[in-house]
Structure 1
């Protein structure tokens, strides 16, 4: 099996590459320069013969949301996906599946729980980026099975958001953010890697897939679970206004959140290794 991956040097991409190789796959990294318009023919040649193509490309949202950075966040997802889809559509030998990730930030936080069967979109910056991102992926040829995994916060010891989230607790400065009622949809990296493998090998899986643990979680549950597993206290609550003063528009990452349910994964029989936050944090903190 030959699998091509954009964003292969990123946090998820590095782990996914190693995971797929361990499964016996031949992994082809698609570099940023391969996606330049003038390299279109080279990209087509690179993708030819691939059984699966996984699109993980996207600049980090963990930056100041200046006009320049917001454009970079958008274009690194939307334009990259557009270029990739155009190349795939011109292939004579098309892949069986195209997996193009998105995020649960596409959903509004105005309802208790969203599944793939129902969902209203937010009007903020990140949701609009996700909507454009997914729209480009949907331009793939009908002969190619399209899967759009909407990722929750990916938790791992050695990258992503978790080390930054854990640091305040290690420094005895764990806090609850605002009311703590904002949703916190997450997925353990080990489960996410298995989900990708399941998608590649299960032809009936199509369309949007919520990649989140089945336990409904919010900031309050996460904060006190983290305090328990790290044997640290929770001292105070930081008001949302302070985050807005510190981070501006980017404060929404911390003060807003969605509760997202993985209906399709459970319906397909996927077994989570880490279905609850306490089991995930137990592994991550020790």
Structure 2
């Protein structure tokens, strides 16, 4: 099959392309082809703009993972605009290309995040949950998803991935989390009673391959492990995996002062479960946080 992948040089894209490139033809949208080729190899084709394509008739599957990292910089007005354009603009352009195609790809898999739900209490949240908290992360994801779902028609099925914290031993959020723990300074944020919904990188990739292979899969999917944990439980499990103590706490006010509005992503959480993915027959290799950390460390 012929794949077009946006954001292919990111954490998820890199691992996904490693699984696909031996058997399939891959085209990667990236602003930096040379650095992407160092990560992904020479076998993918590289394009720097979707404007290089008139249609998507040459592709069987489009996987849309493009997006400015949401937690790299403080959310200034300028940074929010950059975050939005990288997600909304790319997805909207894909919509134009799908519409221009006589034989559009049979599948679009498009990214989103559990930030769609906004901050929540401790109730379990599956894909049917429809009372999101109205905050920036929800607004960002809601528009991103809307643009993707509008592409669906009788020729193209669309799957949207509401992704949790993706755990990998190299890159991603876990790289940043582990540093204070390795120094013996790790611990929960505040009381640590807010939930963290996570997924091992291998299950993330496996889930995407599952959606590709199962033509009955369509719509919204939570891409999180079936056993979310509190921030305190996550911190203890990480400390144990690294053979380090878990004694200190990070005051919420300190994160607020350092990160501004962006700190909400760390201070608040959601208890998200992957009901639709499980019901479709997907089996997680790493269903618990202990399983995940045992593999990664």
TM-score (norm 2): 0.90
Q: Which residue number in structure 2 is paired with residue 116 of structure 1?
A: 127
Question: Which residues of 2 match residues 41-52 of structure 1 at below 5 A?
Answer: 42-45=52-55, 47-52=56-61
Aligned partners of 2:169, 2:128: CA distance in 1, in Å? 32
Deviations 1:117-176 (A, max 9, x none): 223222221111001101111220412101001100111011111111111111111121
Q: Does 1:86 align with 2:96?
A: yes
> What is residue 196 of structure 1 aligned with on the other side?
208
**Secondary structure at 1:175's aligned position in 2?**
coil
Instruction: Kindly indicate whether residue 89 of structure 2 is the aligned counterpart of residue 74 of structure 1.
Output: no
- Which whole-Å CA distance do the structure 1 matches of 2:183 and 2:296 have between them? 17
1:28 counterpart residue number = 27
Contact kept in structure 1, 2:149 and 2:219, CA below 8 Å = no
User: 1:8–1:29: 8 Å Cα contact kept in structure 2?
Assistant: yes
Q: Of residues 246, 260, 285 in structure 2, which corresponds to 1:273?
A: 285
Contact 2:88 2:144 in 1 (8 A): yes
Partner in structure 2 of residue 259 of structure 1: 271
* Pairing 1:98–2:108 present: yes
**Aligned counterparts of 1:141 and 1:126: Cα–Cα separation in 2:** 24
* 8 Å contact kept, 2:168–2:296: yes
1:183 aligns to what? 195
Q: Shift in Å at residue 18 of structure 1?
A: 1.4
Q: Distance in 1 between matches of 2:249 and 2:135?
A: 25
Aligned-partner Cα distance in 2 for 1:262–1:58: 23
Equivalenced residue count is 278
Distance 2:183 2:57 in 1: 50
Which residue in the other structure is 1:210 paired with? Answer: 222
Q: Cα offset for 1:218? A: 1.5
* Post-superposition CA distance 1:33-73 (Å, at most 9, x none): 423xxx2xx3234x322111000000011211111111101
Deviation at 1:196, TM superposition (A): 0.8
Residue number in structure 2 paired with 1:147: 159
Native 8 Å contact 1:5 1:28 kept in 2: yes
Query: Mean Cα displacement is larger for which, 224-233 or 24-33?
Result: 24-33
The TM-score normalised by the length of structure 1 is 0.94
Q: Is the 8 A contact 1:149 1:208 kept in 2?
A: yes
* Separation in structure 1 between the aligned mates of residue 281 and residue 150 of structure 2, nearest angstrom: 29
CA distance in 2, matches of 1:127, 1:182: 18
What residue is the counterpart of 1:57 in the other structure?
Answer: 66
Partners of 1:31 and 1:186 in 2: how far apart?
26
Name the CA distance, whole Å, in 1 between partners of 2:296 and 2:142.
32
Looking at structure 1, the residues matched to 126 and 271 of structure 2 have their Cα atoms a distance apart, in angstroms, of 9
Does the 8 Å contact 2:199/2:223 carry over to 1?
A: yes
In structure 2, stretches of 5+ residues that fail to align are: 32-47
CA contact (8 A) 1:2 1:51 kept: yes
Structure 2 contact 193–230 (Cα < 8 Å) conserved: yes
Give per-residue Cα distances to partners, 1:103-125, cap 9 Å, x unaligned: 00111333421101223222221
